[in-house]
Amino acid sequence: MTDQKRVFPTPIADPDTEHFWSAAKDNKLMIGSCNSCGEKHYYPRGMCPHCGSSDVELVESSGKGEIYSWSVLRRAEPPFAIAYVTLDEGPTMMTNIIDCDLDSLKIGQRVELKFSPTEEENGAPVPTFKPA
Amino acid sequence: MSINGKAYIAGVYEHPTRKAVDKSLAQLHAESALGALADAGLTKDDVDGYFCAGDAPGLGPLSLVDYMGLNLRHMDATETGGSSYVLHVGHAAEAIAMGKCSVALITLAGRPRAEGMATGTAPRNYGSSAPDVAFEFPFGPTVVNMYAMCAQRHMYEYGTTSEQLAWIKVAASHHAQYNENAMLRNVVTVEEVVNSPMISDPLHRLDCCVISDGGGAIIVTSPEIAKSLNRPLVKVLGAGEAPKHQMGGKVDLTYSGARWSGPLAFQEAGVKPNDMKYASIYDSFTITVLMQLEDLGFCEKGEGGKFVSDGNLIAGTGKLPFNTDGGGLCNNHPANRGGLTKVIEAVRQLRGEAHPKVQVPNCDLALAHGTGGSLGTRHGSATVIMARE
């Protein structure tokens, strides 16, 4: 199992992303959605990276997806699993896989959202995933 | 408009140091510049264009221009990480073709060893104003685990193996044994690579490049000046550059920006991948080489593992001799940026000045390719094709 000592740095919100991080405090993972082309994107931002429209909004993800790729950094203390997870809504996002056996991760493995607290008191949690 | 034939590489210099405790960063830049100027047979007063990237201390090019006492009419501090200096060769050729300068100096230097930098295994934060940082930095992205995810996906999609990746290191080590300045001169085997400690699955210690101090410089000149100098003529035939990123979440780790920069360079040069006698391929990790070889068109996508196996990259026996100085994997990766040394070894090959044991016979056409940033997130790719005249 992953070592509970792993400490996540607190993300710094800016005017572009404060709604994303305030939703994270409510355990909601938001993704960008374009009202012009209909495409989803990640990370969320003030314009659609697909069509260029600024008519974008945040929509809540189901928090379900599968591992696109992963790697366990054996040299870290403690070792941890970084991954790209492809959400069922489409976008692929960088994250960590937690609460897992670091030696049994597989591409294609189903995972689900579990927010992890970060080091600063009252800091926003970050969206991590655990095996489904 | 084309740069084909409009500029020549007249001077190159690779700083011999690999650990520069007793030298400043600016000093390493300056010593590299003077070395390349001496190689070309020029002096600093001939330089009228200067190119540098993010490793240059100070505000863009200004502090180093001041330190070296340069008088310029053209400067360019385009920063695309380790690919910058390959990209600068193309930009210098453009500036020369447009008459904006006639002797362009490109420098690189760094001292990550002297400064005790954990280059590959510590997450780097480019500052919270970079829009991606809040969404990535908390998850511990490092150089090595980002490239490891590329390797992991390549293995999944194409059946690439650790043994195939290991052949890239084996080939580099065969070349490095002849380079007295190389950090790692011992020839290694596939078994030694795959049995070296796992750093970040599936990359082993020997899949990774060296961490070295040092630097280098390149002089690009107009045809008239190159032909007035007493050096073999190395002509720039074509250049290409391209960024690749996460595409708004449509992440695909199986290819690099070389897919775009390569064809642009080949088209401008009017040649094909199979015409190359030698290739300098950016080698931060073994997987970097494999992906770029595919993307540049030396083999089909997914066939890189077969292409690099059985010594196919070793000078004298393989079909495509690569990184005959030992590359970043064994020789030198100054400032954690390997693009400039890629150009240098290609020029050595075209001049016939590589080590005799690795010199490619009649090497009249060569490619240098760089990647900067991370294949796992966002990076710049740059390709230059050069010919001996």
Indicate if the pLDDT at residue B141 is higher than 90. Answer: yes
- The Cα–Cα gap between B350 and B264 comes to 21
Place A4 in a pLDDT band, splitting at 50, 70 and 90.
low
Determine the pLDDT at residue A2. 47
Determine the pLDDT at residue A6. 87
Asked if B8 contacts B220 with a C-beta cutoff of 8 angstroms, the reply is yes
Q: Is A13 within the bounds of a domain? A: no
Asked if B200 contacts A72 with a C-beta cutoff of 8 angstroms, the reply is yes
Beta strands in B15-83 (DSSP E): 49-51, 74-76
Whether A69 has its CB under 8 Å from any CB of chain B: the answer is yes
Average pLDDT rounded to a whole number, residues A2-6: 62
CB contact under 8 A, A74 and B250: no
Q: Is A116 within the bounds of a domain? A: yes
CB-CB: which of B133, B140, B247 is closest to A82? B140
Asked if B50 contacts B72 with a C-beta cutoff of 8 angstroms, the reply is yes
**Domain count of chain A?**
1
CB-CB: which of A10, A16, A72 is closest to B131? A16
Q: What's the complex ipTM? A: 0.96
CB contact under 8 A, B377 and A74: no
B364 half-sphere exposure, CB direction, 13 A CA radius: 4
Neighbours of B155 (CB within 10 A): 19
Q: What is the pTM of this model?
A: 0.97
Q: Is A4 within the bounds of a domain? A: no
**Å from A36 to nearest chain B CA?**
15
Q: How far, CA to CA in Å, does B69 sit from each of A38, B33, B106? A: 55, 12, 15
Sign of CA dihedral B286, B318, B215, B350: negative
Indicate if the pLDDT at residue B119 is higher than 80. Answer: no
- The Cα–Cα gap between B94 and A43 comes to 36
B55-98 tens-digit pLDDT = 999 999 999 999 999 999 999 999 999 999 999 999 999 999 99
Q: Is A78 within the bounds of a domain? A: yes
Average pLDDT rounded to a whole number, residues B244-256: 98
For residue B377, the chain A residue with the least C-alpha distance is A94
B331-351 tens-digit pLDDT = 999 999 999 999 999 999 999
Q: How far, CA to CA in Å, does B380 sit from each of B207, B262, B377? A: 21, 12, 11
> Could you tell me the CATH number of the domain that includes residue A67?
2.40.50.840
B145-160 tens-digit pLDDT = 999 999 999 999 999 9
CB contact under 8 A, B142 and A73: yes
Chain Cα centroid distance, residue B54: 15
Whether A7 has its CB under 8 Å from any CB of chain B: the answer is no
Which two tokens mark A39?
Answer: 């495409």
Average pLDDT rounded to a whole number, residues B134-146: 96
- Average pLDDT over chain B, rounded to whole? 97
Nearest Cα residue to A104 out of A57, A54, A70: A70
CB contact under 8 A, B129 and A14: yes
Range of the domain at A111: 18-131
CB-CB: which of B121, B251, B377 is closest to A73? B121
**Å from B334 to nearest chain A CA?**
23
For residue A96, the chain B residue with the least C-alpha distance is B139
Which two tokens mark A44?
Answer: 């969320």
Domain range annotation of chain B: 8-113+208-388
Average pLDDT rounded to a whole number, residues B300-313: 97
Give the DSSP H/E element, type plus range, for residue B40.
helix B25-40
Whether A17 has its CB under 8 Å from any CB of chain B: the answer is yes
For residue B153, the chain A residue with the least C-alpha distance is A69
A43-89 tens-digit pLDDT = 999 999 999 999 999 999 999 999 999 999 999 999 999 999 999 99
Mutate to test the interface with A, among B121, B152, B287 (most CBs of A within 10 A): B152
- String of b and e for B314-324 (b: at least 16 CB within 10 Å)? bbeebebbbbb
A90-110 tens-digit pLDDT = 999 999 999 999 999 999 999
Share of chain B above pLDDT 70, in %: 100
Task: Report A:80-119 residues touching B (Cβ under 8 A).
Answer: 80, 82-84, 86, 90-96, 107, 118
CB contact under 8 A, B134 and A80: no
Residue range B8-113+208-388 forms a domain whose CATH class is alpha beta
B3-44 tens-digit pLDDT = 999 999 999 999 999 999 999 999 999 999 999 999 999 999
